[in-house]
Amino acid sequence: MSRIGKQPVELPSGVSASLSGQTIEVKGPKGTQSFTATDDVTIEVGDNVVTVSPRGKSKRARQQWGMSRTMVANMVHGVQNTFKKELEIQGVGYRAQLAGNVLKLNLGLSHDVNFEIPDGVTVTAPKPTEIIIEGHDAQLVGQVAANIRDWRRPEPYKGKGIRYKGEYIFQKEGKKK
């Protein structure tokens, strides 16, 4: 049994959901999002509540049950609030700056990295060593943060690189004489 899937998703005031087939569309003050569920689950929209239930007892149906409920909950949260990821840059000379729709990263490579910011996400760099990514789609915000982080992951000896704010990097011991 999915513990997550059992919980109904409550729709706050100002947020509405409509269902057509297996596609649910959530509208709110910040925009509209939609999600198409697989045929393994049944989605029902009631009075200010969206419930997801599995069709059958197969392993795939149970997996899709919890995932579909989480997707609907993220959409409800996204049309009302924003999702946010914060990145920190550590290293001498490593910095980021915003130029229009392009994030310029100096990461110790032989060239600067020009990262195109996709639609639906806002990126700000309040400090040269800090990047804030915000948006209404949880998956897109996380993917953009992961793509930026992939340009220079934190290395285990000095800890230089791009890391999530508050992320702990296990430091290895260097060579001994």
pLDDT tens, residue by residue, 142-152: 999 999 999 99
Query: Into how many domains does the chain fold?
Result: 2
Are residue 71 and residue 19 in the same domain, yes or no? yes
| 88 plus 132 within the same structural domain | yes
172 occurs within a structural domain:
no
| Residue 177 located in a structural domain | no
**Do 11 and 63 have their domain in common?**
yes
Tokens in use for 102? 């392009």
47: pLDDT confidence band, cut at 50, 70 and 90? confident
Same domain, 57 and 119: no
pLDDT tens for each residue of 75-132: 999 999 999 999 999 989 999 999 989 999 999 999 999 999 999 899 999 999 999 9
For the domain that residue 103 is a member of, what is the CATH number? 3.90.930.12
Domain boundary (56, 78, 100) is at 78
Domain end position, chosen among 78, 107, 126 = 78
Judge whether 8 lies within some domain.
Answer: yes
What does pTM read for this prediction?
Answer: 0.85
pLDDT at position 122: 94
Q: Could you list the residue range(s) of the whole structural domain that residue 55 is in?
A: 3-78
- Angle 99-103-105 from CA coordinates, rounded to 5°: 115
The answer on 97 and 70 residing in a single domain is: no
Alpha-carbon torsion 142, 76, 70, 7, what sign? Answer: positive
Q: Work out the burial of residue 14: count CB atoms within 10 Å of its CB; fewer than 13 is exposed, 13-18 middle, 19 or more buried.
A: exposed
